[in-house]
Amino acid sequence: MRWQVLLALGGIVLLALVLGYSTYSVTTVLAPDRGGVYREGVAGNPKYLNPLLCDATDVDLDLCSLLYRGLTRIDKNGRVTPDLAEGWRISEGVDYVFRLKPDQYWHDGQQVTVDDVIFTVSVLQDPEVYSLPDLTSLWRSVQVEKIDDLQVRFRLTEPFTPFLDYTSIGLLPEHIWRDVPATDLATQPLNATPIGNGPLKVVRTAADHIRLEPSQFYRGPRPYLAALELRFYPDHASAFTGFVNGELEGISQIAPQDLQAAAEREDLQLFSTATSEYLSIVFNLNNPDVAFLQDVQVRQALYYGLDRKRLIEEVAGGQGIIAHSTFLPENWAHNPDVRQYAYDPALASAILDQAGWIDTDGDGIRDKDQQPLRFLIYANDDPLRQALIERLAVDWRAIGVDAQPVSVTFAGLVSDFLNPRRFDAALIGWELTGDPDPYPLWHSTQASGGGQNYSGWANEEVDELIEQARAMVDEADRKANYYRFQEAFAEELPALPLFYPVYTYGVSAKVHNVQIGSLNQPSERFETFHDWYMLTRRVPVSQVPAQAPPTPPSTVAE
In this predicted model, what pLDDT tens digit does every residue of 204-229 receive, in sequence order?
999 999 999 999 999 999 999 999 99
Average pLDDT, rounded, for the chain: 91
User: Helix-strand-coil percent breakdown of the chain, rounded to 5?
Assistant: 35, 25, 40
Angle 551-544-537 (CA atoms, 0-180°, nearest 5)? 60
Question: Which is nearest to 129 in space by CA: 171, 195, 177, 188?
Answer: 188
Domain count, the chain: 3
Residue 375: beta bridge partners? 403
Contact 189, 48 (CB under 8 A): yes
Q: Is 492 exposed, middle or buried (0-12, 13-18, 19+ CB in 10 A)?
A: middle
What SS3 class is residue 155?
strand
What is the average pLDDT across 270-290? 94
Percent of the chain with pLDDT over 70: 92
Phi, psi of 262, rounded to the nearest 5 degrees: -65, -40
State residue 14's pLDDT score. 55
Residue predicted with more confidence, 27 or 326:
326
Question: Which is nearest to 373 in space by CA: 350, 397, 351?
Answer: 397
Relative orientation angle of helices 475-492 and 460-469, to the nearest 10 degrees: 160
Residue 39 sits in the same domain as residue 126: no
Structural domain includes residue 2: no
Q: How confident is the model at residue 552 (pLDDT cuts 50, 70, 90)?
A: very low
Read out DSSP for 371-404?
Answer: EESEEEEEEES-HHHHHHHHHHHHHHHTTT-EEE
**CA 155, chain centre distance (Å):** 29
Contact 504, 272 (CB under 8 A): yes
Contact 453, 443 (CB under 8 A): yes
Residue 427 sits in the same domain as residue 456: yes
Structural domain includes residue 119: yes
Structural domain includes residue 11: no
Residue 300 sits in the same domain as residue 444: yes
State residue 256's pLDDT score. 86
Question: Which is nearest to 492 in space by CA: 277, 389, 353, 341?
Answer: 341
Residue 168 sits in the same domain as residue 90: yes
Residue 332 sits in the same domain as residue 456: yes
State residue 554's pLDDT score. 36
Which structural domain range is residue 249 located in? 33-68+198-267+509-535
Which amino acid is located at 258 in the chain? D
Three-state SS sequence of 303-368: HHCCCHHHHHHHHCCCCEEECCCCCCCCCCCCCCCCCCCCCCHHHHHHHHHHCCCECCCCCCCCEE
Q: How confident is the model at residue 433 (pLDDT cuts 50, 70, 90)?
A: confident
Domain boundary (153, 186, 219) is at 186
pLDDT of 555 above 60:
no
Q: How confident is the model at residue 557 (pLDDT cuts 50, 70, 90)?
A: very low
Domain boundary (136, 155, 186) is at 186
Question: Which is nearest to 256 in space by CA: 311, 312, 319, 310?
Answer: 319
Q: Write the pLDDT tens digit of every residue in 477-511.
A: 999 999 999 999 999 999 999 999 999 999 999 99
Which residues neighbour 463 within 8 Å (Cβ) at sequence distance 6 or greater? 443, 444, 445
Structural domain includes residue 220: yes
What is the average pLDDT across 113-131? 94
Residue 252 sits in the same domain as residue 368: no
Structural domain includes residue 424: yes
Query: Distance between CA 275 and CA 501 in Å, rounded?
Result: 6
What is the average pLDDT across 83-89? 96
Angle 166-171-176 (CA atoms, 0-180°, nearest 5)? 155
Domain boundary (159, 186, 213) is at 186
pLDDT of 306 above 60:
yes
Q: What is the CATH number of the domain that holds 44?
A: 3.40.190.10
Read out DSSP for 485-511?
Answer: HHHHHHHH-SEEEEEEEEEEEEEETTS
Structural domain includes residue 26: no
Helix (H) or strand (E) holding 135: helix 133-139
Burial track 135-160 (b if 16+ CB lie within 10 A, e otherwise): bbebbeebebeeeeebbbbbebeeeb
Minimum mean pLDDT among 46-60, 455-469, 473-487: which range? Answer: 46-60
pLDDT of 7 above 90:
no
Residue 323 sits in the same domain as residue 392: yes
Residue 62 sits in the same domain as residue 165: no
Q: What is the CATH number of the domain that holds 79?
A: 3.90.76.10
Contact 26, 540 (CB under 8 A): yes
Instruction: Report CA torsion sign: 39, 512, 49, 440.
Output: positive
Q: How confident is the model at residue 541 (pLDDT cuts 50, 70, 90)?
A: confident
Running DSSP on this structure, what letter comes out for residue 226? S
Contact 513, 32 (CB under 8 A): yes
Structural domain includes residue 166: yes
Residue 465 sits in the same domain as residue 498: yes
Residue 33: beta bridge partners? 535
What is the average pLDDT across 450-462? 95
Q: Write the pLDDT tens digit of every residue in 343-399.
A: 999 999 999 999 999 999 999 999 999 999 999 999 999 999 999 999 999 999 999
Q: How confident is the model at residue 24 (pLDDT cuts 50, 70, 90)?
A: low
What is the average pLDDT across 69-82? 94
What SS3 class is residue 78?
coil
Q: What is the CB neighbour count within 10 angstroms for residue 407?
A: 16
- In angstroms, the Cα distances linking 279 to 27, 324, 458 are 53, 11, 21
**CA 229, chain centre distance (Å):** 21
Query: Distance between CA 169 and CA 164 in Å, rounded?
Result: 10
Structural domain includes residue 91: yes
Residue predicted with more confidence, 130 or 546:
130
Residue 267: beta bridge partners? none
Residue 374: beta bridge partners? 402
What is the average pLDDT across 290-295? 97
Query: Distance between CA 202 and CA 198 in Å, rounded?
Result: 10
Residue 37 sits in the same domain as residue 92: no
Query: Distance between CA 29 and CA 555 in Å, rounded?
Result: 8
CA atoms within 13 A on the CB side of 215: 24
Q: How confident is the model at residue 11 (pLDDT cuts 50, 70, 90)?
A: low
Contact 226, 36 (CB under 8 A): yes
What is the average pLDDT across 266-280? 93
Residue 304 sits in the same domain as residue 451: yes
Residue 53: beta bridge partners? none
Q: What is the CATH number of the domain that holds 330?
A: 3.10.105.10
Residue 159 sits in the same domain as residue 295: no
